[in-house]
């Protein structure tokens, strides 16, 4: 298990909350109908969460909890890994002492989620898994360099309201710089064991550090917080902080970035592997099997995933042919893909035009959203471009969570890098996925539900989180978007992307596919640009199994919906169904299926 995997998984799942007082928070109060076993369960959840926040200070800070705001965490150390494993084992032992049958219905769901999450986490500490993953501490997606600079920039989750906030950030930044010595140490141990990252992953990381180094001192994202101060900070403090931030960037952060950049370029890159799949690593098959289960919450085989993907690709190609016919295009589907990629009418004029387009889409969706949803998040949704330092390796769109009280908005980031490839026919579906009712609804509604234990409000699994967002794309007709054939092609292209991920991810990590074969497969079976295909494939190489979660989660939700509609007939209400899916946070797929079955029985 990578040292920072828990942190990064939490960030992907949308960790955030309102600021809380700087002392231990009381356990949640009992709700009507709860008994002694419910109280014991909630006490366990509370104690587990409190201990986890202390071990993972950044997770606390993303939730607005300032108790450990001057700390980063002991990531990339044996002590951190041992503490995480011991916590999982202790939590499972405590859970087994609680009588599930005496819990309320909601707490039985919470019991099941906690058990499933902890059991999956424990598998990640198995020697066969840990002795490979620990020597691959960072890549260009899950390394601290991929999110921490934005976090500490004054535009991210770190607070900059008081002098203490600024001083705490200086302390965290110093610890951030120190992590790279530990990362280098783990990489060197991996070199001795022939457990190394692919060359392309290393090259991408070098590029990231080059971008950060090129910012210099006063242009650095780490200096940015002192370029603008809130009211209430004195001129003397401002002068002190400006000097301290400049000194830290110059003497601490830039040297740390330069050190790891030079290590990666001169020592690690020559030792890195030409292969790209986990199958090339010692114990790679076991590592990929764990990656599949940890990301889908289901014990699926690589062969099953691959075959499912092939079947979905075939189905979507047939629907694409139908859209091609609707617009009167008489060439082949491949020629239609080329038309979509090259016709200038599908290329946005500017980043501002992209932003205006997404804002217009949002207004159209908002006008219809009440027809499908009775639960609407309090947090507003803001649309922003991806920060320049990470746009080259970022996806076309992404989401960053807001706060439960709505004081910080959720943010839909769109990517304007290589502008001619940000095709306008993909905008409507991307908004449904990253914005409303996709990630913004799911993540916000979970963290705004104070009745849930913290691990359900702020945690999650990618099969649910990404499966919901992909399911949200299927609501295009109901929400009045992606109706025009070219926009529908954009929707099919996005769905095709997730179907191809099943094929390509399993191909790369279990069937010996090369990077080039994976890129060619994606360009051949969709209108996506080669730029996007390269970014996607290199993401799958860096994060085995994560890309499988989207389609597996979506198909699970669609299957549950079809079953509910068939059973309830005229009694089926999409608002009730969506509330049942969303009102208890991100559930493992087996737990979600059981919950929907119970909801159907209650309605019937």
pTM beyond 0.75: the answer is: yes
Report the 10 Å Cβ neighbour count for 111: 21
| pLDDT value of position 577 | 98
Beta-strand runs (E) in 77-143: none
Tell me the per-residue pLDDT of 141-160, one tens digit each, with 9 for 90 and over: 889 999 999 999 998 889 99
Pairing of strands 410-414, 397-400: antiparallel
97-101, 104-108, 361-365, 526-530: segment of lowest average pLDDT: 526-530
- Alpha-carbon distance of 535 to 394, in angstroms, equals 8
3-21: per-residue pLDDT in tens? 334 444 434 333 322 233 3
Q: Give me 326's structure tokens.
A: 């609707």
Q: What is the pLDDT of residue 12?
A: 36
Lowest mean pLDDT among 73-87, 252-266, 396-410, 434-448: 396-410
What are the boundaries of each domain within the chain?
A: 1-125, 138-194+199-272, 293-554
User: What pLDDT is attached to residue 25?
Assistant: 54
pLDDT computed for residue 19 by the predictor: 31
Per-residue pLDDT for 448 more than 50? yes
pLDDT level of residue 391 (50, 70, 90 thresholds): confident
β-strand partners of 381: 410
In this structure, the dihedral spanned by the alpha carbons of residues 15, 20, 26 and 30, taken in order and rounded to 10 degrees, is: -70
Distance CA 4, CA 80 (A): 9
Report the distance separating Cα 196 and Cα 394, nearest Å: 23
The pLDDT tens digits of the residues spanning 488-539 come to: 999 999 999 999 999 999 999 999 999 999 999 999 999 888 888 998 999 9
Does residue 2 carry a pLDDT above 80? no
User: 202: which 2 tokens?
Assistant: 């290393």
pLDDT for 421: 82
Among residues of the chain, what percentage have pLDDT more than 90? 84
Report pLDDT digits (tens) over 82-98.
Answer: 999 999 999 999 999 99
Point out the least confidently predicted range of 4-8, 99-103, 226-230, 483-487. Answer: 4-8
At 5 the three-state DSSP class reads helix
Q: How confident is the model at residue 323 (pLDDT cuts 50, 70, 90)?
A: very high
- Work out the mean pLDDT of the chain and round it to a whole number: 92
- Please count the other Cβ atoms lying within 10 Å of the Cβ belonging to residue 299: 9
590-597 mean pLDDT: 96
| Tokens coding 197 | 């990252």
**65-74: average pLDDT:** 96
* Percent of the chain scoring above 70 in pLDDT: 95
Taking the C-alpha atoms of residue 448 and residue 3, their distance in angstroms, rounded to an integer, is: 29
Of the candidates 119, 14, 146, the residue with the CA atom closest to the CA atom of residue 446: 14
CA proximity to 382, closest of 405, 406, 364, 404:
406
pLDDT at 573 over 60: yes
Mention every residue, 6+ apart, whose C-beta is less than 8 A from residue 302: 288, 289, 292, 506, 509, 510, 511
Measured distance CA(423)–CA(190) in Å, rounded = 41
Using 50, 70 and 90 to split pLDDT, how confident is the model at 81?
Answer: very high
Q: 3-state DSSP call for residue 53?
A: helix
What is residue 407's predicted lDDT score, i.e. its pLDDT? 80
pLDDT greater than 50 at residue 408: yes
């Amino acid at each position: 298990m990578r040292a920072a995997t828990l942190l990064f998984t939490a960030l992907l799942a949308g960790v955030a909350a309102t600021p809380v007082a700087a002392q231990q928070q009381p356990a949640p109060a009992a709700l009507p109908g709860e008994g002694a076993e419910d109280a014991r369960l909630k006490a366990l959840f509370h104690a587990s969460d409190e201990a986890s926040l202390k071990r993972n200070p950044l997770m606390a800070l993303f939730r607005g909890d300032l108790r450990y705001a001057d700390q980063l965490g002991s990531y990339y150390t044996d002590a951190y890994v041992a503490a995480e494993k011991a916590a999982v084992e202790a939590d499972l032992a405590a859970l087994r002492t609680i009588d599930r049958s005496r819990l309320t219905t909601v707490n039985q769901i919470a019991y099941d989620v906690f058990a499933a999450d902890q059991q999956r986490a424990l598998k990640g500490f198995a020697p066969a898994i840990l002795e490979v993953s620990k020597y691959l501490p960072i890549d260009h997606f899950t390394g601290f360099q991929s999110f921490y600079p934005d976090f500490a920039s004054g535009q991210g989750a770190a607070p900059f309201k008081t002098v203490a906030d600024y001083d705490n950030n200086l302390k965290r930044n110093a610890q951030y710089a120190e992590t790279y010595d530990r990362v280098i140490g783990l990489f060197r141990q991996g070199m001795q064991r022939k457990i190394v990252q692919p060359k392309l992953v290393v090259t991408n990381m070098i590029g990231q550090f080059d971008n950060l180094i090129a910012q210099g001192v006063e242009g650095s994202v780490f200096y940015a917080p002192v370029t603008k101060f809130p009211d209430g900070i004195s001129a003397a403090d401002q002068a002190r902080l400006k000097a301290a931030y400049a000194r830290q960037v110059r003497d601490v952060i830039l040297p740390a970035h330069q050190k790891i950049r030079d290590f990666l370029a001169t020592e690690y890159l020559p030792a890195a592997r030409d292969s790209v799949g986990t199958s090339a690593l010692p114990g790679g098959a076991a590592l990929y099997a764990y990656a599949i289960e940890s990301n889908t919450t289901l014990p699926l085989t690589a062969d099953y995933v691959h075959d499912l993907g092939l079947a979905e690709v075939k189905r979507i190609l047939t629907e694409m042919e139908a859209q091609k016919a609707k617009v009167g295009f008489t060439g082949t589907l491949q020629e239609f893909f080329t038309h979509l990629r090259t016709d200038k009418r599908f290329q946005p004029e500017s980043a501002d035009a992209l932003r205006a387009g997404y804002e217009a889409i949002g207004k159209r969706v908002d006008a219809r959203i009440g027809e499908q949803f009775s639960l609407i998040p309090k947090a507003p949704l803001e649309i922003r471009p991806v920060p320049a330092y990470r746009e080259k390796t970022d996806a076309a769109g992404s989401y960053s969570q807001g706060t439960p009280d709505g004081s910080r908005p959720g943010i839909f980031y769109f990517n304007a890098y290589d502008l001619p490839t940000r095709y306008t026919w993909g905008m409507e579906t991307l908004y449904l996925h990253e914005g409303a009712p996709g990630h913004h609804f799911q993540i916000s509604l979970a963290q705004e539900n104070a009745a849930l234990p913290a691990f359900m409000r702020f945690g999650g699994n990618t099969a649910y989180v990404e499966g919901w967002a992909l399911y949200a794309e299927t609501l295009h007709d109901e929400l009045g978007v992606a109706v025009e054939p070219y926009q529908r092609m954009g929707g099919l292209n996005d769905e095709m992307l997730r179907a191809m991920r099943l094929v390509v991810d399993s191909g790369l990590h279990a069937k010996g596919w090369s990077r080039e074969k994976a890129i060619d497969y994606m360009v051949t079976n969709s209108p996506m640009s080669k730029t996007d295909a390269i970014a996607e494939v290199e993401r799958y190489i860096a994060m085995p199994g994560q890309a499988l979660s989207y389609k597996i989660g979506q198909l699970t939700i669609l299957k549950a919906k079809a079953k509910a509609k068939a059973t309830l007939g005229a009694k089926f209400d999409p608002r009730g169904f969506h509330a049942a899916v969303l009102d208890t946070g991100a559930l493992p797929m087996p737990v979600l299926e059981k919950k929907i079955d119970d909801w159907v029985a209650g309605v019937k």
